[in-house]
Amino acid sequence: MSSSKGFFPSLIAGKCPKCRTGKVFTHPFYNFTKFSSVHSHCPACGTKFETEPGFFWGAMYFSYALNVGIAIITILTLFILFNDPEYWVYVTVIVPLILILNIPMVRFSRLLLMYMAAPYRKYNPNLKLNTK
């Protein structure tokens, strides 16, 4: 199914990896109790998001890699800009940064996993959802 939206804009917006129009998450990221809740199917095209039980456990690897990347970039930035500050400066900057970015990273990791698995998923264009 073709879409007018590009890959990266739809990934950042949290849209379905197949049709790129339906929302993946049920609640906004600032809802701290349900920030990771995902629709079972795409509201627009009917693609099933969690194809098997425990599918989103694989997103932990993406989240870990993104957090390591953020930590490395922060370390290099502090090292270059502040001429190798003390150890406590690194910890004081990196730990809160990782904690603040945790919720967006969880959501983005799930989206990355879904977008990587999207070409291998079964798609049923005739699926009719019971939307009320």
pLDDT tens figures, 25-63? 888 877 777 777 888 888 888 888 877 777 888 888 989
3-class DSSP state of 52: coil
Domain boundary assignment for the chain: 7-120
From 127, 121, 122, 114, select the one nearest 16 (Cα to Cα).
Answer: 114
Q: Which residues partner with 41 through β-bridges?
A: 48
Q: Is the pTM of this model over 0.85?
A: no
* DSSP class of 36: T
pLDDT in tens, 84-109: 899 999 999 999 999 999 888 888 89
Write down the pLDDT at residue 94. 94
